[in-house]
Amino acid sequence: MLPQATPTLETDFTHAQPSRATLRQAYLLMRTADEMARLYEENKAVTAKYVHATARGHEAIQLAAASILGPQDYAAPYYRDDALLLGMGLSPYELMLQLLAKRDDPFSGGRTYYSHPSLRRAGVPTIPHQSSATGMQAIPATGMAHGIKYLESQGLNALMPDPRDFYENNQPIPGLYGLQASELAAPLVLCSIGDGAMTEGEVSEALQMAALHQLPIIYLVQDNEWGISATGREMRSMNAYEFAAGFKGLHRLQFDGADFLASYAGMREAADYVRQRQGPVLVHARCPLLGHHTSGVRREWYRGDNLAHHTTQDPLPRFHQQLLELDFTEQELQALGEEARATVQADYQRALAAPNPDPATFADHEFAPPVVTQEAGERSPAGADKALMVDAALHAVDDILREFPEALFYGQDVGGELGGVFREAALLAKKYGDARVFNTPIQEAYIVGSTAGMSAVGAKAIVEIQFADYIWPALNQLVEELSKSCYLSNGQFPVQSLIRVPIGAYGGGGPYHSGSVESTLLTIRGIKVVYPSNAADMKGLMRAAFLDPNPVVMLEHKGLYWSKVPGTEDAKTVEPSAGYVIPLGKAAIAQEASPEKLASGETCVVVTYGMGVHWAKTASRQFAGQVEILDLRTLNPLDWEAVQAAVQRHGKALVLTEEPLLNSFAESLAGRIQRHCFRQLDAPVFTLGAANLPAIALNVELEKQMLPNPDKVAAALRELLAY
């Protein structure tokens, strides 16, 4: 049976009464959701071709949640929220277009699952892309709220959608969204989530930040006591309401989510609390699960007698009886039911006949078009001093913060007095304030995932992962939320996100501060990966990465920051002027071979990046004029044209990396060169990287044995040139 609430935890919501028009619309939409679920089951041979879930049992709380939302708000629904989407103004036809993966699916153009919405539409709350919403959505949703609070604190509300755009003479335009026009009020975020997902660690990170920063967000937890086939008793030691008590500053409400009147009143109270900027709210709403978990996991396989118990809590007959007691007639309700049935049947036939996506569009929207397409600004201003890479990075971020008020910078230890463990953000917090440059908890998932929410509301985040070895907890967000957003939203929601990651070995850093991770990152489609080797490139690429509308990971080698490692003196360069940019995806020739040696066929090219540029420069002194060094600078997108041209020029190539070589980006690139440049090659493509070991040892002598160095590069060059 459904859990019974403790009476002392219930709240009196009798002060908030819906209008008769709202009640009528709610009943119509509840019947619509019921008819959709019924139709899907009756036509399961067609509708279950792709996986879907329905709202059966959850309709009351979902429609009540929709009633609080206005066009100024943001929503993060979960995969069972089709009634919520109906309440926000979406038609059954539009949801069915997604159900059947049709071309005109307004969310994704047929690319993602049913009830996985992404929507920018006048008069409707903004619904940014999110993953399958089993807990991961809490972080991007909290990032939205974080971005809203930041923009409000800076007086930058104009960067967010203006709700007045959707009102005529300060009166709501009827029928555009929801059950009831929300007041012209401060925006909020609604994050909808199932109780099973509340056990995810990333949800705790989100709740922690919402409470810590008092963010304008409602977490709506729909608790039906089931995961897939696992019960609440198996999955958790407490429900979401009890769990939320541990987060000081997170207001809690609890009520019967199968009762529309109680749910309407409760959601109104939650919205009022957040709109008055009193802090975040967690709503725990108990619901029955009346349908299948999904179309692929059917209720008869695992529910047993539990389904009969849940059926007694069905919100539809309960609401029907409540409306009769509120002087609605049986004939009136019957007419609404018939209207719902007719709409659903007609919309289904239209959706069946709708066109499928054009297969030729399958690759559209991997990335949003770049802003920076050519080098601009002064790379070597007259009279400018040489700068260390770490200072060039600091100055680049300083320039961005000064020029773009919507920009903010956060991560572990980058705020306050320290300004980063490498002093790469020194004094920025003092200069721009704690709202713009601030410390986070040890929450790599939040640091990365929140940038998706920031981007959706118009804030532009620069964030830092303290060491590359610590990026692993963030990969879930990077893969599921950031990298897929542009593609799966059909271009509606590219994520502007600049993620700085200090990387590489630098002499005794040991196994948790020395790693290289680029090959792992480069398996993630939909993100860009940048890797500068000197101060001028650092500054130009940093600005281009910030201006790019896509997620960019900027790898910054710790051993190059201060040019203290022997052989890295060239990493220190004249500092470019403010505004200098280098387009992403453009390699540079870091060292040319002599024309004479090239003409006599005595040369080769080293294709590399980061520290490899400096190893190659040192090693090449033994082969005067014989070695060209191509600095890739950006690993994705790769400047393949420059690689091909260099290999064809010389006929011999060495691909050099700091990573362990086996199955690396370097080996992949070498294979690609071999395949496409075979006729121009005078030798096999050589590769050199670190030893294939799981970690870098702390002892510096052991570290040297594992890593490449100029002597190892020279040996490889000697063999290659003599081939």
Q: What pLDDT was estimated at residue 506? A: 87
Rounded Cα distance between 437 and 153, Å, is 13
Q: Is the pLDDT of residue 182 over 90?
A: no
User: How far lies 360's CA from each of 104, 207, 356, in Å?
Assistant: 15, 42, 12
The total number of residues written for the chain in this structure: 723
Rounded Cα distance between 135 and 286, Å, is 18
596 burial class (0-12, 13-18, 19+ CB within 10 angstroms)?
Answer: exposed
User: How far lies 210's CA from each of 138, 143, 204, 476, in Å?
Assistant: 10, 9, 10, 20
Q: What pLDDT was estimated at residue 424? A: 66
pLDDT tens for each residue of 294-337: 777 777 767 777 777 777 889 999 999 999 999 999 999 999 99
Domains 20-154+186-353 and 386-574 share a fold: yes
Q: Is the pLDDT of residue 174 over 60?
A: no
Helix (H, G, I), strand (E, B) or coil at 622: coil
pLDDT tens for each residue of 411-453: 988 877 766 666 666 678 888 998 999 989 999 999 999 999 9
The domain defined by 20-154+186-353 folds into Rossmann fold (3.40.50)
**Superfamily of domain 386-574, CATH level 4:** Thiamin diphosphate (ThDP)-binding fold, Pyr/PP domains (3.40.50.970)
513 burial class (0-12, 13-18, 19+ CB within 10 angstroms)?
Answer: buried
Which of 541, 656, 549 is closest to 610 using CA atoms?
656
Q: What pLDDT was estimated at residue 312? A: 83
Pick the range with the lowest mean pLDDT from 230-239, 317-326, 564-573.
230-239
Scanning the structure block, which residue is given the tokens 């489609």?
525
Q: What are φ and ψ of residue 646, in 5° steps?
A: -65, -45
| Residue 535 CB partners (closer than 8 Å, separation 6+) | 386, 387, 388, 389, 391, 392, 571, 572, 573, 575
Rounded Cα distance between 152 and 141, Å, is 17
Contact 340, 31 (CB under 8 A): yes
Cite the active site residues: 513
Of the pLDDT bands very low, low, confident and very high (cuts 50, 70, 90), residue 533 is very high
Q: Is the pLDDT of residue 217 over 70?
A: yes
| Residue 602 CB partners (closer than 8 Å, separation 6+) | 626, 721
Extents of the domains making up the chain: 20-154+186-353, 386-574, 588-722
Between 523 and 11, name the one with better pLDDT: 523
Which of 581, 713, 569 is closest to 655 using CA atoms?
713
Q: Give the pairing type, strands 634-636 and 528-530.
A: antiparallel
Q: What pLDDT was estimated at residue 135? A: 86
Angle at 382 between CA 378 and CA 384, to 5 degrees: 90
pLDDT tens for each residue of 67-104: 999 999 999 999 999 999 999 999 999 999 999 999 99
Q: What pLDDT was estimated at residue 158? A: 74
In the chain, pLDDT over 70 holds for what percent of residues? 92
Q: Is the pLDDT of residue 706 over 60?
A: yes
Q: 493's torsion region: left (phi>0), alpha (psi -120 to 50) or beta?
A: beta
Of the pLDDT bands very low, low, confident and very high (cuts 50, 70, 90), residue 248 is very high
Contact 650, 605 (CB under 8 A): yes
Rounded Cα distance between 322 and 316, Å, is 10
Q: Is the pLDDT of residue 170 over 70?
A: no
Which of 129, 150, 114, 26 is closest to 75 using CA atoms?
129
Q: What pLDDT was estimated at residue 508? A: 87
pTM for the structure as a whole: 0.93
The domain defined by 588-722 folds into Rossmann fold (3.40.50)
| Residue 402 CB partners (closer than 8 Å, separation 6+) | none
Q: What pLDDT was estimated at residue 233? A: 78
Q: First-to-last CA distance in the chain?
A: 77
